[in-house]
Amino acid sequence: MHKVVRWRAVASFAWSVLLLPVTTSLFVFLSQASLLHPIQWITDSLCLLTASSTMFSLLLLSAVVLVIGIFIQEYCTVIPSIPCSRVALLAKVLHPRQCVHSLSHCSLGMLVTWCAAVTIGGRYRTLSHPCSESENVGQMCLNEYHLFLLLAGAFMGYSHSLLGVVQNMNYVAFHAVQQHKYMHFKGSLPRVVKCSAVQSLYSLRNYIVLYYFFGYGPRLWISQILNLQLDGSSHFLDTVAGLLDFSLLYHLWISGTFLMLTWFITVFLFRIYVSEAYSFPVQSTFTEDAEMCLPKVLSCKEPMVMKFLALQDLALLSQHSPVRRQEVFSLSQPGGHAHNWNAISRECLSLLTDLTQRLVAHHDAVASNGRPKSQGSSTVEDLPKAYPSVSKTPGSVFLRSSTVGLNSPMTAPFTPDLDSPFSSPVIRRLTAQEDPASPWFGSVQSPHVMRRGPKLWSASTGFLAKRALVLYLFNKLPEASGQALFADSQAHIWALEGLSHLVAASYTEDRFGVVQTTLPNILSSMLMLLEAVDRHFKLPHASSKPSRATCSMGDSTHKTLRFALRAALKTALYRITTTFGEHLHAVQMSAEHRKRMQQFLEYKE
Amino acid sequence: MCSLALFPPPLLDGEITLYESNNELVSGTSASSCPKQEWDPPSLIFPRETLKSHSRPESSSKSAFLDHKDTLWMRSAGAWRDAGLSGLLEEIANRPDEVPKWLSVGSGCMLALLRWISSFHGSLFPHLTLSSEAMVAEFSQVLKWSDGAVRGFAWHPHTDKFAVALLDDTIRIYNSKSATSPTLKHRLQRSVSSLQWKPLCASELAVACHNCLLVWHIDPTSLSTRPSSGCAQVLSHPGHSPVTSIAWSPSGSLLVSASPVDTAMLVWDVAIESCVPLQRVGGGGVTFLSWAPDGGRVLAATPSALFRVWETRMWTCERWPCLKGRLQTGCWSPDGTRLLFSVQNEMVIYALTFSDSPGGPKAASVVADLSETTFSGPNGDVTVGGEVQSLAWDPKGERLAVLMKGVSEAPERPAVIAVFRTRTSPAFELLPCGFIKGEPGVEPRLMQFHPQFQHGALLTLCWSNGKITHLPFYFVSAGATTATCLPHHTAKGTEFSSQLLYTDHSS
């Protein structure tokens, strides 16, 4: 089942390793830059490229890329987790799982810059060098340049990991425009290079400020541990004079860009490979393939990515492939049941109904609380999930992976961490959507459970709320709760597209009339969702658009998914109404829905 | 092959083409003798004199407003923000008294180098040396775009509603179901080159502007006559200006935009305001886009003798080099399998047939010859024919309107619209229908077919005097089983209509 994703991941890592020699030689070439001696520049670079140290670095870098790849695969998700308040974000950063991520990226960054230091050579090559001062002749001194570079790598690795949380770097977005992998990569490569250069520049600035103030500490520590002297003859690097060294800054920036580039390319290739469309068979004659059939995969909840791929495939087949549509509309051979259509429409409708319920519950919660963004006590919604409860310690990565290893090895990467109290409620709701025993299901059914919550919380956190810092931390980020509601809306968009295209196609292609039986259901689900979405967009902050990030590798598509969902929903309804036209009057629906439908028929929506 | 010699002779001055009935164009002396329908689209007139065009030169007004007492660094920062590197260099090079000599001389040299490089680039692609207004005028589908009162026209794909873009950078919307006609104005809505309604949507209108795309959301139930600029989404991308052509996907999900300056064509997901640039080597820009009605292919023309046909599932493209010049215009058959196009400097219409089987067509075939033809009439000889400015094919695939450029120096050779009757099955055929004649001394500038006309086809024409008229073609569609009731008929001889002029047996 998850073989598909595993092989895709392996292929993407293989490509990123294969691209490593290219980026490395580019780095070598740029690191040896000397504009005044171009011939020497070229010969030096060529010599360095064939040197054994470069080969060793290359091996080491390949290992680093593989480890990074494993981390990406482990942590990536198709549903972004959106922290609803600052404390939730803080909790996300301090989560043990994230700490492991950060620390390993720290050391991997150090490893990469060590390779870079060895490659650049010269004064960066080793950690120690013979002292030049007269009183220390014969002793070894600490080479601060080497240390400076290593610490820069560690810092960049850490900030990469941190920014990954803030910018949702692990989120794999699916794009509306399908392209061949090579074209997609080629088209976006300039952006990746630009991003890594800019990101490296920002990290560099932060690092230099940090080193200027605190560089003294690690230098002293390392020199004491390794019993090295501090060379007093040259400037220390935590002084203005020491830092105003153009060649040092250039090499630092080049190394940082190199580090970011190799990592970003790995992330980027992984995203391209995973989000590529996969064609599932609609039905299969062999029982061993039955697990891979579209209706089966659609209804599975386990690896979210497979469900997303199946929905994407449904949207594509409904639009482009008459042959496969025919299979969807077909009847089963003995019995004459429309199993395929029933399974597909049921799954899509349950997705839509789930979103409707979620929106209604959110709206009710907001309405019962007065304004959604009132101060302090109204942070009901995010407090329970954001507050790190002591009793329930989040499972560490090791713990989790060991338990996962017992069940099935590949469930982990794309299923968000459900045990964690910090995970977005959406994810928990989504996975527990049809589980009547789950507490969320109950709260959807009876909104007053939700209303009871706030009073308890306002009583217990009453005195805390008076403090400004707590207020700041617990205050809900204005747009985040809206974004969190629609975090998985890509699935709904595909469901809407798939359903509406299939229904529109059924007008001419459905020979047995299987779609007709579900048409009233489909229309009423869509209209109910439209009503809920319309109500949601009347809330404050719902229709404000986030500012566009200029250059980041994190995909910010999730911030605007609600607009995409609204547009897809209206288009889906119009697709059905323009195809069926006046025939829709014969479809059973409530008077209210009929009125709304008439609006669509008259193009007044 | 069909040629203009087979057409009935053009009408005399004073007569106006009113409608088509019984396979023949009916003329009269005034527009009032047209048959009435349930909703007659309003015939509008926008006199050129009442519309004040914005004479806003892009850079000359800057010096009038910029405070020259700013420090050099403030001004440099402003120049960098407004005009990029070259602006910064120019600012520094022009102040030799305020900066060190080496800096001003150095930036002067850099500026010269940059200009030399860009002039070299411009010699490869001459259109890059045009100003952006001239570029829009050059590549627009509208004849004499810069001086006409009407700069764009768009029918709504599903209802009786249309939008008109005018010389004063406003857009007006006329609706059969409401008396209010909203006027759209926006700060960024300058030199509108193209506009199109979103399919499967009631309210969204995409507008290609000087340096951005605007997507207006006009609530059809609203009574407001001046929607605020908050109703417009602004989509812009660095290096993508001026936008000369846009096209919505027929499924309403994507929007493509093209600029002759940008070698990439942008595919927008409008709702989330993100775009994917699709770039291929060669061509030097994209000038004209047309999405096939079945959604499967997109035609993209470039300023050089090359055009591409994109397949929209995986976004791969076929390159089609032309011999004579760039592709000026093109249109798709309703089923999306046949593309008609014409090339600059050639007076013919080509056809390309696509099929789902691999391989595809190898070469385009000439289907109509529009070279100059002289008809002798009572008032002397009339010469008709020329290069094609734009093509329009009605949504039923039965009428093809061809707007041919006139000779601007000769007033007796104005632009002319020739209408062909077309048939796509069983074989592709072009038959002459007639020339469309307007009021004396007035030439057509822009035309578009109504997407949902029940009794045949309705061609909307924008004329050089700012008039917008609608010309119905009454016919029973070949595919229709039940004959719809036509308003009224005037039976006359049909000596020209029975000739079979072009048959494409390969299809």
Shortest Cα distance, chain A CAs vs residue B204, angstroms: 10
Residues in chain B within 8 Å Cβ distance of A554: none
Alpha helices in A461-513 (DSSP H): 468-474, 480-485, 489-509
Nearest-by-Cβ selection for A180 from B221, B254, B314: B314
Cα separation, B35 vs B239, whole angstroms: 50
A170-179, A185-194, A263-272, A474-483: segment of lowest average pLDDT: A474-483
The reported pLDDT for the residue numbered B65 is 54
- B427 to chain A, any CB pair closer than 8 A? The answer is no
Nearest-by-Cβ selection for A564 from B159, B271, B315: B271
B200:A548 CB<8 A = no
Shortest Cα distance, chain A CAs vs residue B218, angstroms: 10
Nearest-by-Cβ selection for B274 from A178, A501, A557: A557
Statement: residue A200 has pLDDT above 90: yes
Name the residue among B36, B22, B27 with its Cα closest to residue B439: B27
The reported pLDDT for the residue numbered A376 is 39
Q: Note the ipTM here.
A: 0.87
DSSP class per residue in A31-69: HT--TT-HHHHHHHHHHHHHSHHHHHHHHHHHHHHHHHH
Statement: residue A430 has pLDDT above 80: no
Residues in chain A within 8 Å Cβ distance of B277: 187
- Give the residue numbers in A contacting B (CB under 8 Å), as ranges: 175-180, 183, 187, 316, 319-320, 497, 501, 545, 548, 557, 560-561, 563-564, 566-568, 570-571, 574-575, 578, 602-605
B221:A578 CB<8 A = no
DSSP letter at A152?
H
Identify the closest residue of chain A to B250 by CA–CA distance. A575
Cα separation, A441 vs A447, whole angstroms: 10
Shortest Cα distance, chain B CAs vs residue A253, angstroms: 22
Query: What is the average pLDDT across A457-482?
Result: 70
Cα separation, A375 vs A373, whole angstroms: 6
Long-range contacts of A72-76 (CB under 8 A, 24+ apart): A72/A170, A72/A266, A72/A267, A72/A270, A73/A9, A73/A270, A73/A413, A74/A412, A74/A413, A75/A101, A75/A170, A75/A413, A76/A170, A76/A171, A76/A172, A76/A270, A76/A274, A76/A413, A76/A414
A571:B203 CB<8 A = no
Shortest Cα distance, chain B CAs vs residue A561, angstroms: 7
Strand duo B365-369 + B2-3: pairing: parallel
**pLDDT by residue for chain B (507 residues), tens digit each?**
788 889 998 888 788 888 888 888 888 887 666 666 666 788 888 887 787 766 554 444 555 555 556 677 777 887 777 667 777 888 788 777 777 888 888 888 888 888 888 777 777 788 888 888 899 999 999 999 988 899 999 999 999 999 999 999 999 999 888 888 999 999 999 999 999 999 999 999 999 998 899 999 999 888 889 999 989 999 998 889 899 999 999 999 999 999 999 999 999 999 988 899 999 888 889 999 999 999 999 999 999 999 999 999 999 999 999 878 899 999 999 989 999 999 998 999 999 998 876 666 678 889 999 999 998 888 788 888 899 999 999 999 999 999 999 887 887 888 999 999 998 777 888 999 999 988 888 999 999 999 999 889 999 999 999 999 999 999 988 665 444 444 444 434 333 433 444 444 443
The reported pLDDT for the residue numbered A461 is 55
* Most confident listed range (A72-86, A103-117, B36-50): A103-117
Name the residue among B451, B401, B453, B459 with its Cα closest to residue B250: B451
pLDDT in tens, A511-552: 999 999 999 999 999 999 999 999 999 988 888 887 766 677
Instruction: Give the residue carrying structure tokens 């990030």.
Output: A549
A567:B156 CB<8 A = no
Q: Do residues A283 and A342 touch, judged by C-beta distance below 8 A?
A: no
Residue A114 has phi, psi (to 5 degrees) of -65, -45
Residue type, A571: T
Nearest-by-Cβ selection for A571 from B177, B201, B272: B201
Identify the closest residue of chain A to B279 by CA–CA distance. A187
B276:A578 CB<8 A = no
Identify the closest residue of chain B to A316 by CA–CA distance. B313
Per-residue confidence band for A440, with pLDDT thresholds at 50, 70 and 90 = very low
Q: Which sign, positive or negative, has the C-alpha torsion A235, A237, A242, A248? A: positive
When comparing pLDDT for A1 and B107, which is higher? B107
Would you call A228 helix, strand, or coil by DSSP?
coil
- B177 to chain A, any CB pair closer than 8 A? The answer is yes
Nearest-by-Cβ selection for B315 from A179, A316, A567: A179
Structure tokens at B101: 């000599």
Alpha-carbon B94 to chain mean position: 42
Cα separation, A401 vs A471, whole angstroms: 36
Give the best residue of A502, A571, A582, A601 to mutate against chain B (max B CB count within 10 A).
A571
Shortest Cα distance, chain B CAs vs residue A271, angstroms: 16
**Residue-wise burial string across A249-263, b where 16 or more C-beta atoms lie within 10 A, e elsewhere:** eebbbbbbbbbbbbb
DSSP letter at A397?
H
Residues in chain B within 8 Å Cβ distance of A183: 315-316
DSSP class per residue in B391-455: EEE-TTS-EEEEEE---TT-TTS--EEEEEEEE-SSSEEEEEEEEE--STT--EEEEEE-TT-TT
Considering chain A, what is the average pLDDT of its residues?
Answer: 82
Q: Taking each helix axis from N to C terminus, what angle separates A52-75 and A38-50, rounded to the nearest 10 degrees?
A: 70
Q: Give the number of beta-carbon pairs within 8 Å between A and B.
A: 81
The reported pLDDT for the residue numbered A8 is 94
Instruction: For residue B24, give Cα distances in angstroms to A362, B4, B396, B495, B504.
Output: 63, 16, 18, 10, 24
The reported pLDDT for the residue numbered A168 is 87
Nearest-by-Cβ selection for A603 from B220, B252, B278: B220
pLDDT in tens, A37-52: 888 888 988 988 888 9
Name the residue among B417, B427, B495, B423 with its Cα closest to residue B463: B417
Query: What is the average pLDDT across A321-343?
Result: 91
**Number of CB atoms found within 10 A of residue B26's CB:** 18
The reported pLDDT for the residue numbered A550 is 65
With a CB cutoff of 8 Å and minimum separation 6, the contacts of B54 are B168, B169, B190
The reported pLDDT for the residue numbered A555 is 78
The reported pLDDT for the residue numbered A434 is 40
B253:A497 CB<8 A = yes
The reported pLDDT for the residue numbered B483 is 42
Query: What is the average pLDDT across A62-84?
Result: 92
Cα separation, B168 vs B186, whole angstroms: 11
Instruction: For residue B269, give Cα distances in angstroms to A105, A492, B256, B423.
Output: 34, 16, 9, 36
**Residue-wise burial string across A470-508, b where 16 or more C-beta atoms lie within 10 A, e elsewhere:** eeebbbbbebbbbbbbbbbbbbbbbbbbbbbbbbbbbee
